[in-house]
Structure 1
Amino acid sequence: MSKPSLAGRRIALTRPAASSADWRTRLEALGAEVVELPLIAVRKDVNLHTLNEVFQEIGGYEWIIFTSVNGVKHFFEEFHRVYDDIRAFGLMRIAVVGEATAAAIREQHLRVELQPKKANAEELAKALIEREGMDSAKVLVVTGNKNRDILVQKLEEVRAIVDILPVYKTEETDLAADPVAGDFRAKGADAILFASPSAAQSFFDQAAALKLAARARRPLAGSIGPSTTATMKQLGLPVDFEAADATLESLVAALLKKL
Protein backbone atom coordinates (compact mmCIF):
# COMPACT_ATOMS: atom_id res chain seq x y z
CA MET A 1 0.00 0.00 0.00
CA SER A 2 1.41 3.41 -0.96
CA LYS A 3 1.81 6.13 1.62
CA PRO A 4 -0.75 8.94 1.77
CA SER A 5 0.33 11.80 -0.48
CA LEU A 6 1.18 14.18 2.38
CA ALA A 7 2.83 11.71 4.74
CA GLY A 8 5.57 13.42 6.74
CA ARG A 9 4.47 16.90 5.67
CA ARG A 10 3.54 19.72 8.05
CA ILE A 11 0.72 21.90 6.73
CA ALA A 12 -0.32 25.15 8.45
CA LEU A 13 -3.96 26.27 8.28
CA THR A 14 -4.95 29.91 8.78
CA ARG A 15 -8.74 29.55 8.92
CA PRO A 16 -10.89 30.52 11.96
CA ALA A 17 -10.88 27.76 14.58
CA ALA A 18 -14.64 27.20 14.17
CA SER A 19 -14.39 26.43 10.45
CA SER A 20 -11.15 24.48 10.09
CA ALA A 21 -12.34 20.99 11.12
CA ASP A 22 -13.14 19.72 7.61
CA TRP A 23 -9.83 21.08 6.29
CA ARG A 24 -7.91 19.34 9.09
CA THR A 25 -9.76 16.07 8.47
CA ARG A 26 -9.01 16.15 4.73
CA LEU A 27 -5.31 16.90 5.21
CA GLU A 28 -4.86 14.34 7.98
CA ALA A 29 -6.53 11.71 5.79
CA LEU A 30 -3.68 12.32 3.33
CA GLY A 31 -1.14 11.77 6.13
CA ALA A 32 -0.27 15.41 6.89
CA GLU A 33 0.56 16.82 10.30
CA VAL A 34 -1.74 19.85 10.61
CA VAL A 35 -0.75 23.04 12.45
CA GLU A 36 -3.69 25.36 13.11
CA LEU A 37 -2.92 29.08 13.10
CA PRO A 38 -6.35 30.74 13.47
CA LEU A 39 -5.26 34.16 12.22
CA ILE A 40 -8.81 35.47 12.08
CA ALA A 41 -12.00 35.00 14.08
CA VAL A 42 -15.55 35.43 12.79
CA ARG A 43 -18.45 36.46 15.04
CA LYS A 44 -22.04 37.45 14.45
CA ASP A 45 -22.46 41.22 14.22
CA VAL A 46 -25.93 42.39 13.21
CA ASN A 47 -27.36 45.90 13.40
CA LEU A 48 -30.91 45.25 14.58
CA HIS A 49 -32.25 48.47 13.03
CA THR A 50 -30.88 47.50 9.60
CA LEU A 51 -32.13 43.93 10.06
CA ASN A 52 -35.61 45.19 10.92
CA GLU A 53 -35.70 47.40 7.82
CA VAL A 54 -34.64 44.48 5.61
CA PHE A 55 -37.16 42.06 7.14
CA GLN A 56 -39.98 44.59 6.66
CA GLU A 57 -39.24 44.52 2.93
CA ILE A 58 -38.26 40.86 2.66
CA GLY A 59 -41.01 40.09 0.14
CA GLY A 60 -39.91 42.89 -2.19
CA TYR A 61 -36.43 41.66 -3.14
CA GLU A 62 -35.95 39.84 -6.43
CA TRP A 63 -32.54 38.41 -5.54
CA ILE A 64 -30.69 37.67 -2.31
CA ILE A 65 -26.94 37.15 -2.61
CA PHE A 66 -24.73 35.21 -0.18
CA THR A 67 -20.97 35.43 -0.56
CA SER A 68 -19.96 33.09 2.28
CA VAL A 69 -21.06 30.28 4.57
CA ASN A 70 -20.89 32.69 7.51
CA GLY A 71 -23.39 34.96 5.78
CA VAL A 72 -25.83 32.08 5.32
CA LYS A 73 -25.38 30.87 8.90
CA HIS A 74 -25.92 34.18 10.64
CA PHE A 75 -28.67 35.42 8.30
CA PHE A 76 -30.80 32.33 8.88
CA GLU A 77 -30.16 32.37 12.63
CA GLU A 78 -31.80 35.81 12.66
CA PHE A 79 -34.48 34.84 10.12
CA HIS A 80 -35.62 31.82 12.16
CA ARG A 81 -35.50 33.90 15.35
CA VAL A 82 -38.00 36.36 13.85
CA TYR A 83 -40.11 34.05 11.66
CA ASP A 84 -41.46 30.60 12.45
CA ASP A 85 -42.42 29.82 8.83
CA ILE A 86 -39.92 29.55 5.95
CA ARG A 87 -42.64 30.87 3.61
CA ALA A 88 -41.94 34.32 5.07
CA PHE A 89 -38.77 34.21 2.96
CA GLY A 90 -40.94 35.04 -0.04
CA LEU A 91 -40.15 34.46 -3.72
CA MET A 92 -36.60 35.81 -3.73
CA ARG A 93 -34.17 33.98 -5.97
CA ILE A 94 -30.86 33.02 -4.40
CA ALA A 95 -27.39 33.62 -5.85
CA VAL A 96 -24.18 32.48 -4.16
CA VAL A 97 -20.40 32.57 -4.42
CA GLY A 98 -18.79 29.16 -3.94
CA GLU A 99 -19.88 25.55 -3.52
CA ALA A 100 -19.63 25.62 0.29
CA THR A 101 -22.06 28.56 0.36
CA ALA A 102 -24.40 26.73 -2.03
CA ALA A 103 -24.31 23.65 0.24
CA ALA A 104 -25.22 25.82 3.25
CA ILE A 105 -28.27 27.13 1.33
CA ARG A 106 -29.35 23.60 0.42
CA GLU A 107 -29.20 22.69 4.12
CA GLN A 108 -31.94 25.31 4.60
CA HIS A 109 -34.05 23.35 2.04
CA LEU A 110 -33.80 26.22 -0.42
CA ARG A 111 -32.63 26.17 -4.02
CA VAL A 112 -29.73 28.13 -5.49
CA GLU A 113 -30.74 29.77 -8.78
CA LEU A 114 -27.33 31.14 -9.72
CA GLN A 115 -23.78 30.11 -8.87
CA PRO A 116 -20.93 31.23 -11.16
CA LYS A 117 -18.33 28.66 -12.19
CA LYS A 118 -15.56 30.83 -10.76
CA ALA A 119 -16.19 31.47 -7.07
CA ASN A 120 -15.74 35.21 -6.75
CA ALA A 121 -18.00 38.24 -6.37
CA GLU A 122 -17.08 39.83 -9.70
CA GLU A 123 -18.03 36.67 -11.62
CA LEU A 124 -21.35 36.53 -9.76
CA ALA A 125 -22.18 40.13 -10.71
CA LYS A 126 -21.25 39.38 -14.31
CA ALA A 127 -23.45 36.24 -14.38
CA LEU A 128 -26.44 38.13 -12.93
CA ILE A 129 -26.10 40.96 -15.45
CA GLU A 130 -25.70 38.55 -18.39
CA ARG A 131 -28.74 36.60 -17.23
CA GLU A 132 -31.24 39.46 -16.99
CA GLY A 133 -29.67 42.91 -17.09
CA MET A 134 -30.65 43.83 -13.48
CA ASP A 135 -31.93 47.34 -14.37
CA SER A 136 -34.14 48.40 -11.39
CA ALA A 137 -33.91 44.91 -9.87
CA LYS A 138 -34.10 45.01 -6.07
CA VAL A 139 -31.23 43.02 -4.56
CA LEU A 140 -30.20 42.15 -1.01
CA VAL A 141 -26.51 41.36 -0.44
CA VAL A 142 -25.77 39.49 2.81
CA THR A 143 -22.17 40.10 3.77
CA GLY A 144 -19.51 40.65 6.44
CA ASN A 145 -17.58 43.73 7.47
CA LYS A 146 -14.57 43.02 5.24
CA ASN A 147 -16.17 41.82 2.02
CA ARG A 148 -15.11 43.70 -1.08
CA ASP A 149 -17.69 46.08 -2.51
CA ILE A 150 -16.94 45.11 -6.14
CA LEU A 151 -20.19 43.11 -6.28
CA VAL A 152 -22.33 46.04 -5.14
CA GLN A 153 -20.45 48.44 -7.41
CA LYS A 154 -20.96 46.26 -10.51
CA LEU A 155 -24.68 45.85 -9.81
CA GLU A 156 -25.22 49.55 -9.15
CA GLU A 157 -23.43 50.39 -12.41
CA VAL A 158 -26.28 48.65 -14.27
CA ARG A 159 -28.88 50.46 -12.11
CA ALA A 160 -29.81 47.64 -9.74
CA ILE A 161 -31.22 48.78 -6.39
CA VAL A 162 -28.92 47.18 -3.82
CA ASP A 163 -29.38 46.89 -0.06
CA ILE A 164 -26.51 45.56 2.07
CA LEU A 165 -27.04 43.52 5.23
CA PRO A 166 -23.81 42.84 7.21
CA VAL A 167 -24.36 39.90 9.58
CA TYR A 168 -20.84 39.03 10.76
CA LYS A 169 -17.50 40.57 11.60
CA THR A 170 -14.04 39.24 10.75
CA GLU A 171 -11.30 40.24 13.20
CA GLU A 172 -7.61 39.48 13.51
CA THR A 173 -6.62 37.22 16.40
CA ASP A 174 -3.49 37.78 18.47
CA LEU A 175 -1.28 34.70 18.29
CA ALA A 176 1.75 36.16 20.07
CA ALA A 177 1.25 34.06 23.22
CA ASP A 178 -0.37 31.05 21.50
CA PRO A 179 1.62 27.80 21.99
CA VAL A 180 0.75 26.73 18.43
CA ALA A 181 2.37 29.89 17.10
CA GLY A 182 5.43 29.01 19.18
CA ASP A 183 5.49 25.56 17.59
CA PHE A 184 5.21 27.16 14.12
CA ARG A 185 8.08 29.56 14.88
CA ALA A 186 10.30 26.71 16.06
CA LYS A 187 9.54 24.09 13.39
CA GLY A 188 7.92 25.94 10.48
CA ALA A 189 5.93 23.92 7.95
CA ASP A 190 6.10 22.53 4.43
CA ALA A 191 3.17 24.68 3.34
CA ILE A 192 0.79 27.31 4.69
CA LEU A 193 -2.71 27.67 3.25
CA PHE A 194 -4.56 30.99 2.99
CA ALA A 195 -8.32 30.89 2.41
CA SER A 196 -9.12 34.61 2.58
CA PRO A 197 -7.57 38.05 2.12
CA SER A 198 -8.22 38.70 5.84
CA ALA A 199 -6.03 35.75 6.87
CA ALA A 200 -3.23 36.96 4.60
CA GLN A 201 -3.47 40.46 6.10
CA SER A 202 -3.39 39.07 9.64
CA PHE A 203 -0.33 36.93 8.82
CA PHE A 204 1.43 40.04 7.53
CA ASP A 205 0.38 42.11 10.56
CA GLN A 206 1.62 39.43 12.97
CA ALA A 207 4.93 38.82 11.22
CA ALA A 208 6.89 39.38 14.45
CA ALA A 209 4.82 36.80 16.37
CA LEU A 210 5.23 34.24 13.57
CA LYS A 211 8.89 34.83 12.64
CA LEU A 212 10.55 31.49 11.96
CA ALA A 213 13.62 30.27 13.80
CA ALA A 214 16.82 29.80 11.82
CA ARG A 215 16.36 26.03 11.42
CA ALA A 216 12.59 26.05 10.90
CA ARG A 217 11.13 24.81 7.61
CA ARG A 218 10.18 27.68 5.29
CA PRO A 219 6.66 26.95 4.06
CA LEU A 220 5.37 27.25 0.52
CA ALA A 221 2.37 29.59 0.52
CA GLY A 222 -0.90 28.56 -1.11
CA SER A 223 -3.93 30.71 -2.00
CA ILE A 224 -7.58 29.71 -2.35
CA GLY A 225 -8.17 32.09 -5.27
CA PRO A 226 -7.65 35.42 -7.07
CA SER A 227 -8.77 37.86 -4.34
CA THR A 228 -6.57 36.16 -1.71
CA THR A 229 -3.67 36.00 -4.19
CA ALA A 230 -4.05 39.72 -4.98
CA THR A 231 -3.89 40.61 -1.27
CA MET A 232 -0.85 38.37 -0.71
CA LYS A 233 1.01 39.96 -3.62
CA GLN A 234 0.04 43.45 -2.47
CA LEU A 235 1.52 42.65 0.97
CA GLY A 236 4.68 41.18 -0.56
CA LEU A 237 3.87 37.63 0.57
CA PRO A 238 4.96 34.85 -1.80
CA VAL A 239 2.28 32.91 -3.70
CA ASP A 240 3.74 29.51 -4.56
CA PHE A 241 0.49 27.89 -5.72
CA GLU A 242 -3.17 28.81 -6.18
CA ALA A 243 -6.33 26.71 -6.32
CA ALA A 244 -7.92 26.48 -9.78
CA ASP A 245 -11.34 26.75 -8.10
CA ALA A 246 -12.06 28.27 -4.69
CA THR A 247 -12.58 24.91 -2.97
CA LEU A 248 -10.67 22.82 -0.44
CA GLU A 249 -10.27 19.96 -2.94
CA SER A 250 -8.81 22.28 -5.56
CA LEU A 251 -6.39 23.85 -3.08
CA VAL A 252 -5.28 20.40 -1.88
CA ALA A 253 -4.74 19.34 -5.51
CA ALA A 254 -2.57 22.43 -6.12
CA LEU A 255 -0.65 21.69 -2.91
CA LEU A 256 0.00 18.07 -3.91
CA LYS A 257 1.17 19.15 -7.36
CA LYS A 258 3.54 21.77 -5.89
CA LEU A 259 5.03 19.41 -3.31
Structure 2
Amino acid sequence: MEANPSARAAQGRWKMVESWGARWPRRCSTAARTACCGSRGAALNTVKSRTLEGKRIVVTRASALSKELRQRLEELGAEVILLPLVRFVEPENTHELDCAIRSLEQFDWLIFTSANAVTFFLGRCRALGYPPTVKGKEIAAVGSATRLALEKEGLRVSFVPAEFSGAGLAAGLGEAVAGKRVLLPRSDRAGEELPSLLRKAAANVTEVVAYRTAGPETFDRSLIESMLNGQADAVTFFSPSAFHEFQSLIGAEGLAKWSSGVAFAAVGPVTAKAIRGAGLPVAVEADEATAYSLVAALERHFSAPEIKRGGSTTEAV
Protein backbone atom coordinates (compact mmCIF):
# COMPACT_ATOMS: atom_id res chain seq x y z
CA MET A 1 0.00 0.00 0.00
CA GLU A 2 1.28 3.46 -0.87
CA ALA A 3 2.66 5.45 2.08
CA ASN A 4 0.68 8.35 3.44
CA PRO A 5 1.93 11.50 1.59
CA SER A 6 2.47 13.47 4.77
CA ALA A 7 4.38 10.60 6.34
CA ARG A 8 6.48 10.25 3.24
CA ALA A 9 7.19 13.96 3.26
CA ALA A 10 8.22 13.88 6.91
CA GLN A 11 10.61 11.02 6.26
CA GLY A 12 12.34 12.55 3.29
CA ARG A 13 11.81 16.27 3.07
CA TRP A 14 15.22 17.45 4.16
CA LYS A 15 17.29 14.33 3.67
CA MET A 16 19.63 14.34 0.75
CA VAL A 17 18.54 11.80 -1.81
CA GLU A 18 20.21 8.42 -1.82
CA SER A 19 22.95 7.94 -4.32
CA TRP A 20 22.03 6.36 -7.63
CA GLY A 21 24.15 3.37 -6.77
CA ALA A 22 22.30 2.80 -3.50
CA ARG A 23 18.83 3.01 -5.04
CA TRP A 24 19.53 0.99 -8.17
CA PRO A 25 20.22 -2.46 -6.64
CA ARG A 26 16.81 -2.46 -4.94
CA ARG A 27 14.93 -1.51 -8.06
CA CYS A 28 16.17 -3.78 -10.85
CA SER A 29 17.36 -7.27 -11.56
CA THR A 30 21.04 -8.14 -11.69
CA ALA A 31 20.93 -8.44 -15.46
CA ALA A 32 19.27 -5.09 -16.02
CA ARG A 33 21.49 -3.40 -13.43
CA THR A 34 24.64 -4.72 -15.07
CA ALA A 35 23.45 -3.70 -18.51
CA CYS A 36 22.52 -0.21 -17.39
CA CYS A 37 25.65 0.65 -15.45
CA GLY A 38 28.41 0.40 -18.02
CA SER A 39 29.64 3.93 -17.35
CA ARG A 40 29.45 3.36 -13.59
CA GLY A 41 31.92 0.57 -13.24
CA ALA A 42 30.42 -2.52 -14.85
CA ALA A 43 31.33 -3.24 -18.45
CA LEU A 44 28.34 -3.72 -20.72
CA ASN A 45 29.81 -6.84 -22.25
CA THR A 46 29.83 -8.64 -18.92
CA VAL A 47 26.08 -9.34 -19.03
CA LYS A 48 25.62 -13.10 -18.90
CA SER A 49 21.85 -13.41 -18.53
CA ARG A 50 20.15 -12.60 -21.84
CA THR A 51 16.67 -12.38 -20.37
CA LEU A 52 15.15 -10.72 -23.46
CA GLU A 53 16.68 -13.11 -26.00
CA GLY A 54 14.83 -12.99 -29.31
CA LYS A 55 12.28 -10.38 -28.24
CA ARG A 56 11.56 -7.56 -30.68
CA ILE A 57 11.08 -4.36 -28.72
CA VAL A 58 10.03 -1.06 -30.27
CA VAL A 59 11.53 2.10 -28.74
CA THR A 60 9.49 5.23 -29.48
CA ARG A 61 11.71 7.55 -27.47
CA ALA A 62 13.35 10.58 -29.11
CA SER A 63 16.47 9.58 -31.05
CA ALA A 64 18.78 11.65 -28.86
CA LEU A 65 17.66 9.73 -25.77
CA SER A 66 17.55 6.20 -27.21
CA LYS A 67 21.21 5.21 -27.47
CA GLU A 68 21.77 3.89 -23.95
CA LEU A 69 18.35 2.24 -23.76
CA ARG A 70 18.96 0.46 -27.05
CA GLN A 71 22.33 -0.75 -25.84
CA ARG A 72 20.86 -2.11 -22.60
CA LEU A 73 18.09 -3.97 -24.37
CA GLU A 74 20.47 -5.46 -26.93
CA GLU A 75 22.82 -6.62 -24.19
CA LEU A 76 19.89 -8.54 -22.75
CA GLY A 77 19.30 -10.21 -26.12
CA ALA A 78 16.48 -8.06 -27.52
CA GLU A 79 16.18 -6.96 -31.11
CA VAL A 80 15.49 -3.23 -30.92
CA ILE A 81 13.35 -1.39 -33.46
CA LEU A 82 13.81 2.38 -33.27
CA LEU A 83 10.66 4.35 -34.01
CA PRO A 84 11.22 7.87 -32.61
CA LEU A 85 7.83 9.52 -32.39
CA VAL A 86 8.76 12.74 -30.61
CA ARG A 87 11.56 15.27 -30.71
CA PHE A 88 12.32 18.20 -28.45
CA VAL A 89 12.91 21.72 -29.74
CA GLU A 90 13.19 25.25 -28.40
CA PRO A 91 10.02 27.26 -27.78
CA GLU A 92 8.83 29.39 -30.68
CA ASN A 93 8.51 32.32 -28.28
CA THR A 94 11.01 32.57 -25.42
CA HIS A 95 9.82 35.86 -23.93
CA GLU A 96 8.37 34.41 -20.71
CA LEU A 97 11.30 32.03 -20.29
CA ASP A 98 13.78 34.86 -20.78
CA CYS A 99 11.97 37.06 -18.26
CA ALA A 100 12.08 34.26 -15.69
CA ILE A 101 15.80 33.70 -16.25
CA ARG A 102 16.54 37.40 -15.88
CA SER A 103 14.54 37.39 -12.63
CA LEU A 104 15.98 34.25 -11.06
CA GLU A 105 16.90 36.10 -7.88
CA GLN A 106 13.17 36.44 -7.14
CA PHE A 107 12.59 32.68 -6.86
CA ASP A 108 13.11 30.47 -3.82
CA TRP A 109 12.70 27.11 -5.57
CA LEU A 110 13.43 25.76 -9.05
CA ILE A 111 11.54 22.55 -9.85
CA PHE A 112 12.53 20.37 -12.80
CA THR A 113 10.32 17.55 -14.05
CA SER A 114 12.60 16.13 -16.76
CA ALA A 115 16.18 16.06 -17.94
CA ASN A 116 14.96 17.87 -21.06
CA ALA A 117 13.77 20.78 -18.92
CA VAL A 118 17.25 20.98 -17.38
CA THR A 119 18.98 20.90 -20.78
CA PHE A 120 16.82 23.54 -22.43
CA PHE A 121 16.55 25.83 -19.40
CA LEU A 122 20.29 25.95 -18.78
CA GLY A 123 20.93 26.19 -22.51
CA ARG A 124 18.76 29.28 -22.64
CA CYS A 125 20.59 30.70 -19.60
CA ARG A 126 23.85 30.41 -21.52
CA ALA A 127 22.34 31.89 -24.68
CA LEU A 128 21.32 34.97 -22.69
CA GLY A 129 24.75 35.25 -21.13
CA TYR A 130 23.59 34.14 -17.70
CA PRO A 131 25.85 31.53 -16.09
CA PRO A 132 23.81 28.45 -15.08
CA THR A 133 24.26 29.03 -11.36
CA VAL A 134 21.46 29.30 -8.86
CA LYS A 135 23.22 30.21 -5.62
CA GLY A 136 20.87 30.39 -2.68
CA LYS A 137 18.10 28.57 -4.52
CA GLU A 138 16.57 25.25 -3.56
CA ILE A 139 16.28 22.78 -6.43
CA ALA A 140 13.88 19.86 -6.71
CA ALA A 141 14.03 17.10 -9.33
CA VAL A 142 11.20 14.71 -10.14
CA GLY A 143 13.46 11.66 -10.39
CA SER A 144 16.95 10.21 -10.65
CA ALA A 145 17.51 11.01 -14.34
CA THR A 146 16.59 14.65 -13.77
CA ARG A 147 18.80 14.80 -10.69
CA LEU A 148 21.75 13.40 -12.64
CA ALA A 149 21.25 16.00 -15.38
CA LEU A 150 21.40 18.76 -12.78
CA GLU A 151 24.40 17.32 -10.98
CA LYS A 152 26.30 17.05 -14.27
CA GLU A 153 25.88 20.82 -14.48
CA GLY A 154 27.34 21.20 -11.00
CA LEU A 155 24.02 22.02 -9.37
CA ARG A 156 23.08 20.67 -5.95
CA VAL A 157 19.67 19.04 -5.74
CA SER A 158 17.82 19.60 -2.48
CA PHE A 159 14.95 17.21 -2.97
CA VAL A 160 13.92 14.16 -5.01
CA PRO A 161 10.66 12.42 -4.05
CA ALA A 162 10.39 8.74 -3.21
CA GLU A 163 7.69 8.46 -5.87
CA PHE A 164 8.95 9.76 -9.23
CA SER A 165 5.87 11.71 -10.28
CA GLY A 166 4.38 15.17 -10.09
CA ALA A 167 2.08 14.07 -7.28
CA GLY A 168 4.99 12.55 -5.39
CA LEU A 169 7.01 15.72 -5.85
CA ALA A 170 4.23 17.98 -4.58
CA ALA A 171 3.45 15.71 -1.62
CA GLY A 172 7.10 15.44 -0.65
CA LEU A 173 7.74 19.16 -0.77
CA GLY A 174 4.60 19.99 1.19
CA GLU A 175 5.10 22.87 3.60
CA ALA A 176 8.61 23.55 2.28
CA VAL A 177 7.13 25.53 -0.63
CA ALA A 178 4.33 27.25 1.30
CA GLY A 179 4.59 30.98 0.72
CA LYS A 180 7.63 30.48 -1.54
CA ARG A 181 8.13 31.60 -5.12
CA VAL A 182 8.57 28.57 -7.34
CA LEU A 183 9.81 28.51 -10.95
CA LEU A 184 8.64 25.53 -13.00
CA PRO A 185 10.35 25.26 -16.43
CA ARG A 186 8.81 22.48 -18.51
CA SER A 187 7.32 21.21 -21.75
CA ASP A 188 4.55 22.94 -23.66
CA ARG A 189 2.53 19.72 -23.30
CA ALA A 190 3.01 19.26 -19.56
CA GLY A 191 -0.11 18.57 -17.49
CA GLU A 192 -1.63 20.73 -14.78
CA GLU A 193 -1.40 18.29 -11.88
CA LEU A 194 1.91 19.49 -10.43
CA PRO A 195 1.35 23.27 -10.56
CA SER A 196 -2.17 22.76 -9.21
CA LEU A 197 -0.93 20.71 -6.25
CA LEU A 198 1.87 23.19 -5.54
CA ARG A 199 -0.61 26.06 -5.48
CA LYS A 200 -2.80 24.08 -3.09
CA ALA A 201 0.28 23.89 -0.87
CA ALA A 202 0.31 27.73 -0.93
CA ALA A 203 3.26 28.04 -3.32
CA ASN A 204 3.48 31.00 -5.69
CA VAL A 205 4.13 29.16 -8.96
CA THR A 206 5.47 30.60 -12.21
CA GLU A 207 5.25 28.20 -15.17
CA VAL A 208 7.40 28.76 -18.25
CA VAL A 209 7.81 26.71 -21.42
CA ALA A 210 11.45 25.63 -21.63
CA TYR A 211 10.99 23.37 -24.67
CA ARG A 212 8.40 22.07 -27.11
CA THR A 213 7.50 18.46 -27.83
CA ALA A 214 7.06 17.93 -31.56
CA GLY A 215 6.30 14.99 -33.82
CA PRO A 216 8.91 13.28 -36.00
CA GLU A 217 10.28 15.18 -38.99
CA THR A 218 10.33 12.00 -41.07
CA PHE A 219 8.59 8.68 -40.59
CA ASP A 220 9.09 5.18 -42.01
CA ARG A 221 5.60 3.77 -42.53
CA SER A 222 7.04 0.33 -43.30
CA LEU A 223 8.03 -0.05 -39.64
CA ILE A 224 4.40 0.29 -38.58
CA GLU A 225 3.31 -2.19 -41.24
CA SER A 226 5.86 -4.76 -40.12
CA MET A 227 4.81 -4.40 -36.49
CA LEU A 228 1.14 -4.76 -37.41
CA ASN A 229 2.07 -8.03 -39.06
CA GLY A 230 3.21 -9.49 -35.75
CA GLN A 231 6.88 -8.60 -35.99
CA ALA A 232 7.14 -6.98 -32.56
CA ASP A 233 6.72 -8.26 -29.01
CA ALA A 234 6.55 -4.97 -27.10
CA VAL A 235 6.40 -1.25 -27.76
CA THR A 236 7.73 1.17 -25.15
CA PHE A 237 6.36 4.63 -24.42
CA PHE A 238 8.11 7.29 -22.34
CA SER A 239 5.44 9.98 -22.45
CA PRO A 240 1.77 10.49 -23.27
CA SER A 241 2.95 12.61 -26.22
CA ALA A 242 4.73 9.63 -27.79
CA PHE A 243 1.66 7.45 -27.37
CA HIS A 244 -0.65 10.08 -28.88
CA GLU A 245 1.67 10.41 -31.90
CA PHE A 246 1.61 6.63 -32.25
CA GLN A 247 -2.17 6.63 -31.93
CA SER A 248 -2.57 9.18 -34.72
CA LEU A 249 -0.17 7.34 -37.03
CA ILE A 250 -1.54 3.86 -36.58
CA GLY A 251 -5.25 4.68 -36.47
CA ALA A 252 -8.11 2.98 -34.63
CA GLU A 253 -7.96 -0.19 -36.74
CA GLY A 254 -4.25 -0.58 -36.14
CA LEU A 255 -4.64 -0.04 -32.40
CA ALA A 256 -7.32 -2.72 -32.21
CA LYS A 257 -5.03 -5.15 -33.98
CA TRP A 258 -2.12 -4.30 -31.71
CA SER A 259 -4.07 -4.63 -28.48
CA SER A 260 -4.05 -8.42 -28.74
CA GLY A 261 -0.68 -8.86 -30.38
CA VAL A 262 1.86 -6.56 -28.74
CA ALA A 263 2.68 -5.73 -25.12
CA PHE A 264 2.33 -2.01 -24.42
CA ALA A 265 5.02 -0.85 -21.98
CA ALA A 266 4.75 2.46 -20.08
CA VAL A 267 7.53 4.22 -18.19
CA GLY A 268 5.17 5.51 -15.51
CA PRO A 269 1.58 6.05 -14.36
CA VAL A 270 0.95 9.18 -16.45
CA THR A 271 1.92 7.42 -19.67
CA ALA A 272 0.02 4.29 -18.62
CA LYS A 273 -3.09 6.40 -18.02
CA ALA A 274 -2.88 7.79 -21.57
CA ILE A 275 -2.67 4.27 -23.03
CA ARG A 276 -5.56 2.96 -20.94
CA GLY A 277 -7.54 6.06 -21.86
CA ALA A 278 -7.49 4.81 -25.45
CA GLY A 279 -9.03 1.54 -24.28
CA LEU A 280 -5.78 -0.44 -24.50
CA PRO A 281 -4.20 -2.70 -21.88
CA VAL A 282 -0.83 -1.85 -20.35
CA ALA A 283 1.08 -5.12 -20.06
CA VAL A 284 4.27 -3.60 -18.63
CA GLU A 285 4.66 -0.61 -16.29
CA ALA A 286 7.88 0.47 -14.63
CA ASP A 287 7.98 0.54 -10.84
CA GLU A 288 9.49 4.01 -11.03
CA ALA A 289 9.58 6.38 -13.98
CA THR A 290 13.05 5.58 -15.33
CA ALA A 291 14.39 3.68 -18.32
CA TYR A 292 16.28 1.41 -15.91
CA SER A 293 13.09 0.39 -14.17
CA LEU A 294 11.27 -0.17 -17.47
CA VAL A 295 14.01 -2.56 -18.62
CA ALA A 296 13.56 -4.53 -15.40
CA ALA A 297 9.78 -4.59 -15.88
CA LEU A 298 10.22 -5.94 -19.41
CA GLU A 299 12.47 -8.66 -18.04
CA ARG A 300 9.89 -9.67 -15.48
CA HIS A 301 7.11 -9.64 -18.03
CA PHE A 302 8.86 -11.87 -20.53
CA SER A 303 10.18 -14.25 -17.91
CA ALA A 304 6.68 -14.96 -16.56
CA PRO A 305 5.25 -18.44 -17.26
CA GLU A 306 3.63 -19.02 -20.64
CA ILE A 307 4.37 -15.60 -22.11
CA LYS A 308 3.31 -15.75 -25.74
CA ARG A 309 4.49 -13.55 -28.58
CA GLY A 310 3.11 -10.07 -28.13
CA GLY A 311 2.81 -10.34 -24.37
CA SER A 312 -0.46 -12.23 -23.84
CA THR A 313 -0.29 -14.73 -21.02
CA THR A 314 -1.87 -17.88 -19.74
CA GLU A 315 -1.85 -18.96 -16.13
CA ALA A 316 0.70 -21.50 -15.06
CA VAL A 317 -0.86 -24.80 -14.03
Could you tell me the TM-score, scaled by structure 2's length?
0.74
Q: Which protein has the bigger strand share?
A: 1
Gap change, CA 1:2 and 1:65, over 3 Å in 2: closer
Equivalent pair of 1:192/1:219 in contact (CA under 8 Å):
yes
Report SS of the residue matched to 1:250: helix
Q: CA RMSD in A?
A: 2.4
Q: In structure 2, what is the equivalent of residue 168 of structure 1?
A: 211
Shift of residue 58, structure 1, vs aligned partner: 0.7
Match of 2:289 among 246, 250, 253: 246
Alpha-carbon distance in structure 2 between the residues aligned to 1:21 and 1:229: 23
| Counterpart residue type for residue 90 of structure 2 | K
Match of 1:40 among 62, 66, 86: 86
Shift of residue 173, structure 1, vs aligned partner: 3.1
Q: In structure 1, what is the equivalent of residue 237 of structure 2?
A: 194
Alpha-carbon distance in structure 1 between the residues aligned to 2:129 and 2:253: 45
* 1:25-36 → structure 2 map (5 Å cutoff): 25-36=71-82
Equivalent pair of 2:59/2:80 in contact (CA under 8 Å):
yes
2:169 is the counterpart of 1:124: yes
Could you tell me the TM-score, scaled by structure 1's length?
0.89
Q: Report the more deviating stretch, 183-192 or 90-99.
A: 183-192
Alpha-carbon distance in structure 1 between the residues aligned to 2:216 and 2:252: 11
Alpha-carbon distance in structure 2 between the residues aligned to 1:82 and 1:175: 31
Structure 2: 5+ residue stretches without partners: 1-46, 303-317
Q: Identity percentage over the alignment?
A: 32
Alpha-carbon distance in structure 2 between the residues aligned to 1:40 and 1:151: 22
- 1:51-107 Cα distance to aligned partner (Å, 9 max, x none): 2321231111000011011100011111122235444x3321110111111100001
| Counterpart residue type for residue 128 of structure 1 | L
| Counterpart residue type for residue 111 of structure 2 | I
Structure 1: 5+ residue stretches without partners: none
Report SS of the residue matched to 1:206: helix
Alpha-carbon distance in structure 1 between the residues aligned to 2:75 and 2:183: 39
Equivalent pair of 1:145/1:170 in contact (CA under 8 Å):
yes
* 1:58-77 → structure 2 map (5 Å cutoff): 58-77=104-123
Alpha-carbon distance in structure 2 between the residues aligned to 1:28 and 1:210: 31
2:127 is the counterpart of 1:81: yes
Q: In structure 2, what is the equivalent of residue 257 of structure 1?
A: 300
Alpha-carbon distance in structure 1 between the residues aligned to 2:240 and 2:278: 10
Report SS of the residue matched to 2:169: helix
- For these two proteins, the number of residue pairs brought into alignment is 254
Q: Report the more deviating stretch, 37-46 or 141-150.
A: 37-46
Alpha-carbon distance in structure 2 between the residues aligned to 1:135 and 1:93: 13
2:277 is the counterpart of 1:234: yes
2:160 is the counterpart of 1:115: yes
Gap change, CA 1:177 and 1:21, over 3 Å in 2: closer
| Counterpart residue type for residue 212 of structure 2 | K
Shift of residue 220, structure 1, vs aligned partner: 1.0
Shift of residue 11, structure 1, vs aligned partner: 0.6
